[in-house]
Chains A and B, each alone.
Chain A
Amino acid sequence: MTIAPARTRTAWPVVDDSQYEGSRIPSPIPTVKRVPADYAEREDIMQINFGPNHPSTHGVLRLIVDLDGELVEGIEAVIGYLHTGFEKSMEQKTWWKCVTYSPRIDYVGYQANELTFVLAVEKLLELEVPEKATWMRTLLSELNRIHSHLIYLGTSALELGAISMFWYCFRERELILDLFEMVTGQRMHTRYFQIGGLAEDIPDGFFPECRKFVDWFPHALADYRTLLDRNAIWLERTRGVGVLSASDAIALGQTGPNLRASGVDWDLRREQPYLAYANVDFQVPVYTAGDVYDRYRVRMDEMRESNRIVDQCLRRLERMQGRPWIVDDRKVVLPPREELHTSMESLIHHFKIVTEGFRVPEGEVYVTTESPRGEQGCYLVSEGGPKPWRVHFRAPSFVALEATATCMHETLVADLIAIVGSLDAVMGDADR
């Protein structure tokens, strides 16, 4: 398999939807689709609440839907039911304690949030992270991407009646969670990325176990394809449903798989390589129909590519055993545990960092990464003190839900569920 390296690509993403005839962004409010004025007077328009508590809303999303029989004529998404005030809470905590908050925002793609926050703090501190930590972060981010896409695939297929998909996807998800547990001690919300590197060294047993997973996963993907790719019901339910055109997707700020399913060839891992992505070989899947089916295909292909990246990271990391996993800067990083018993300075550093935290120089940064759901941004403002002045997360789920109204075009209620599922919004991420 050969791909063109990122550096030779000079054209910007091709956006050609002159042939497109589907729905456009509603006006004047881009995120609300209203019933046409001549319709609104009719008695058979029924307004119902879809959610906030509904098994297929992936958390607590409320959709106010205007129905004409089974046709969706108007829709407005209402969010905020899972608002937890992370941004406010993080302003009250020292920098290193904030790391614990970030994975809990998007509880499916947790390492992506953690990574973005940690990268942003490191940018403010101008820290150089050891190579081993960079590769391990890449590996875990990609495992997390597979994990997130498996949840998407399992739940959205379940909502369309393919119950067995759910069990198959969660079978592999278990394997990934076991790997996370082995490395970090936690199955979810791992808090393994530390400012300056990793919280702990990679355990020896991880490499053979992860290798087993990498070898197995292509077979699992083949299983999923057997179940869905030529499944008549699946194809009927997903093809041509919830179409989003390329230019609308860009105007609505869509990123990640939702954007690539609309035919825009854009992936931050390739366009602005961070971590070790410049040194791994992977393809960026792009499909052009912009419907639910293509979002599914993009994610399926991404899982395959992520598995390849994990494989390449493993090969590198196996040769890096014994190397440092965190930067040796005692003003920022906790000293090794064993030194606390023998070194006065280490004890002081430990005490200072734990009680007072460390100061981060004054400034502001905006760091973006490609999370499983798209462009994950983190905006940080530092006053120069031990706590952040302002933390803001650019949540890809929040932006994805803005597209719900545009995706509704001669949509039936049943398709609504397929569309919301395919946008793959995690409400914790959207509401923060």
Chain B
Amino acid sequence: MPAPPAPGAGMSYTDVPGFVEESVAHGETTVTIERERLREACEYARDELGFQMLSDLVATDYLNWGARGVSGYIGTATGRDINFPMTQGLQTQPRVKPKRFSISYHLLAMRQPPERVRFKVWADDGEPVPSVVSVWPTADWHEREQFDLMGIRFAGHPYLRRIIMDGDWEGHPLRKDYPIGGEPVRFSEAE
């Protein structure tokens, strides 16, 4: 195990393979990585930067992000409908996202003070994301969960199958285009 960098030295992520950009918001650092070089970047983070734990892995679907439009006080055509609460538009238009899905890796360096960073890759529907199971074994179930619920394909995962939903389930429930409240009732008379 390599010696940890001096505490509080202020980490630099520009040397991470596939580095695209770095941003800080709410005291959290987000490092965007090229999708193809993700595994390389993660190995670097673990071995050189000391991020020995993968805390969480989560995908987000940005389909129709910001499509609600901006509404003023009175509301616009795309904005609020007083017969349906909670349909008012946004105050400002959110920043445009480069692709449909973001996959965030929340890394933790266990030292004093602890260091956390979010690695982020962008993918469109169907684009494979390199699996990091070989870097952090804990990614096994996390990747299976995101595959199951969000439909992200992790290339190189040894056992990529559904984990939360049934094996024969159709669709990926956490996607924004997955209907809510419409699944057929199983084992009913009509079936």
A and B: interacting chains = yes
Residues of A within 8 A of B (CB): 6, 9-13, 15, 25, 28-32, 79-80, 83, 85, 87-88, 92, 94, 123-124, 126, 250-253, 264, 266, 268, 271-272, 355-357, 359, 362-366, 368, 375, 377, 379, 381, 383-387, 389-390, 392, 394, 398-399, 401-402, 431-432
**Which of B4, B26, B60, B89 has the largest number of chain A CB atoms within 10 A?**
B26
Asked whether A366 lies within 8 Å of B112 as measured between CB atoms, the reply is no
**Chain A binder among B14-22, B33-41, B156-164:** B156-164
Asked whether A383 lies within 8 Å of B66 as measured between CB atoms, the reply is yes
Tell me which of A11, A15, A387 contacts B1 (CB under 8 A): A15
Q: Mark B24-38, 1 if CB is under 8 A from A, else 0.
A: 011010100000000
Asked whether B112 lies within 8 Å of A251 as measured between CB atoms, the reply is no
Instruction: Tell me which residues across on chain B come within 8 A of A10, comparing CB atoms.
Output: 7, 112
Asked whether B90 lies within 8 Å of A85 as measured between CB atoms, the reply is no
Given contacts A31-B159, A384-B92, 9 further A-B contacts (CB under 8 A): A12-B112, A30-B138, A31-B137, A80-B165, A123-B26, A250-B52, A271-B113, A366-B28, A432-B164
Q: In the complex the two chains form, what is the Cα distance from A194 to B50 in whole Å?
A: 36
Asked whether B53 lies within 8 Å of A30 as measured between CB atoms, the reply is no
Asked whether B91 lies within 8 Å of A30 as measured between CB atoms, the reply is no
A-B contact pairs, 13 of them (CB 8 A): A28-B158, A30-B137, A250-B53, A251-B138, A253-B55, A355-B86, A362-B94, A364-B30, A364-B60, A366-B116, A375-B108, A385-B89, A390-B61
Nearest to B70 among chain A residues (CB) is A384
Asked whether A368 lies within 8 Å of B55 as measured between CB atoms, the reply is yes
Asked whether A83 lies within 8 Å of B158 as measured between CB atoms, the reply is no
**Given the known A-B contacts A10-B112, A12-B112, A394-B55, are A379 and B104 also in contact in the complex, defined by CB atoms under 8 Å?**
yes
Asked whether A87 lies within 8 Å of B91 as measured between CB atoms, the reply is no
Instruction: Tell me which residues across on chain B come within 8 A of A252, comparing CB atoms.
Output: 137-138
Tell me which of B53, B58, B116 contacts A253 (CB under 8 A): B53
Asked whether B88 lies within 8 Å of A375 as measured between CB atoms, the reply is no
Q: Mark B93-118, 1 if CB is under 8 A from A, else 0.
A: 01100000000101010111110101
Asked whether B86 lies within 8 Å of A29 as measured between CB atoms, the reply is no
Q: In the complex the two chains form, what is the Cα distance from A92 to B114 in whole Å?
A: 34
B77 within 8 A of A: no
Instruction: Tell me which residues across on chain B come within 8 A of A126, comparing CB atoms.
Output: 26
Asked whether A85 lies within 8 Å of B58 as measured between CB atoms, the reply is no
**Given the known A-B contacts A32-B159, A356-B85, A389-B65, are A80 and B112 also in contact in the complex, defined by CB atoms under 8 Å?**
no
Instruction: Tell me which residues across on chain B come within 8 A of A386, comparing CB atoms.
Output: 86, 88
Residues of B within 8 A of A (CB): 1, 4, 7, 25-26, 28, 30, 50, 52-56, 58, 60-62, 65-66, 68, 80, 85-86, 88-92, 94-95, 104, 106, 108, 110-114, 116, 118, 133, 136-138, 140-141, 145, 149, 158-159, 162-166, 173-174, 178, 180
Nearest to A83 among chain B residues (CB) is B164
Asked whether B141 lies within 8 Å of A399 as measured between CB atoms, the reply is yes
Q: In the complex the two chains form, what is the Cα distance from A43 to B125 in whole Å?
A: 45
Asked whether B137 lies within 8 Å of A13 as measured between CB atoms, the reply is no
Instruction: Tell me which residues across on chain B come within 8 A of A366, comparing CB atoms.
Output: 28, 55-56, 104, 106, 116, 118
Asked whether B60 lies within 8 Å of A272 as measured between CB atoms, the reply is no
Q: In the complex the two chains form, what is the Cα distance from A245 to B133 in whole Å?
A: 19
Nearest to B181 among chain A residues (CB) is A92
Smallest CB–CB gap between A175 and chain B, Å?
34
Nearest to A79 among chain B residues (CB) is B163
**Given the known A-B contacts A25-B137, A390-B61, are A356 and B110 also in contact in the complex, defined by CB atoms under 8 Å?**
no
Instruction: Tell me which residues across on chain B come within 8 A of A85, comparing CB atoms.
Output: 173
Instruction: Tell me which residues across on chain A come within 8 A of B149, comparing CB atoms.
Output: 87
Instruction: Tell me which residues across on chain A come within 8 A of B62, comparing CB atoms.
Output: 389
Asked whether A398 lies within 8 Å of B112 as measured between CB atoms, the reply is no
Asked whether B138 lies within 8 Å of A399 as measured between CB atoms, the reply is yes
Smallest CB–CB gap between A250 and chain B, Å?
6
Asked whether B140 lies within 8 Å of A88 as measured between CB atoms, the reply is no
Asked whether B164 lies within 8 Å of A79 as measured between CB atoms, the reply is yes
Asked whether A365 lies within 8 Å of B26 as measured between CB atoms, the reply is yes
Instruction: Tell me which residues across on chain A come within 8 A of B166, comparing CB atoms.
Output: 80
Q: In the complex the two chains form, what is the Cα distance from A387 to B143 in whole Å?
A: 26
Q: In the complex the two chains form, what is the Cα distance from A251 to B139 in whole Å?
A: 9
Asked whether B180 lies within 8 Å of A251 as measured between CB atoms, the reply is no
Asked whether B88 lies within 8 Å of A383 as measured between CB atoms, the reply is no
Tell me which of A25, A365, A399 contacts B28 (CB under 8 A): A365
Q: In the complex the two chains form, what is the Cα distance from A23 to B79 in whole Å?
A: 59
**Given the known A-B contacts A80-B164, A83-B164, A94-B86, are A394 and B173 also in contact in the complex, defined by CB atoms under 8 Å?**
no
Q: In the complex the two chains form, what is the Cα distance from A355 to B85 in whole Å?
A: 6
Asked whether B60 lies within 8 Å of A31 as measured between CB atoms, the reply is no
Instruction: Tell me which residues across on chain B come within 8 A of A123, comparing CB atoms.
Output: 26
Asked whether B94 lies within 8 Å of A384 as measured between CB atoms, the reply is yes
Smallest CB–CB gap between B53 and chain A, Å?
6
Asked whether B110 lies within 8 Å of A12 as measured between CB atoms, the reply is yes
Smallest CB–CB gap between B3 and chain A, Å?
10
Q: In the complex the two chains form, what is the Cα distance from A184 to B26 in whole Å?
A: 31
Asked whether A251 lies within 8 Å of B136 as measured between CB atoms, the reply is yes
Asked whether B138 lies within 8 Å of A402 as measured between CB atoms, the reply is yes
Asked whether A375 lies within 8 Å of B55 as measured between CB atoms, the reply is yes
Nearest to A394 among chain B residues (CB) is B56
Smallest CB–CB gap between B31 and chain A, Å?
13
Q: In the complex the two chains form, what is the Cα distance from A56 to B84 in whole Å?
A: 46
Asked whether A356 lies within 8 Å of B86 as measured between CB atoms, the reply is yes
Asked whether B118 lies within 8 Å of A12 as measured between CB atoms, the reply is no
Asked whether A390 lies within 8 Å of B60 as measured between CB atoms, the reply is yes
Instruction: Tell me which residues across on chain A come within 8 A of B53, comparing CB atoms.
Output: 250, 253
Nearest to B89 among chain A residues (CB) is A385
Instruction: Tell me which residues across on chain B come within 8 A of A28, comparing CB atoms.
Output: 158
Q: In the complex the two chains form, what is the Cα distance from A123 to B27 in whole Å?
A: 10
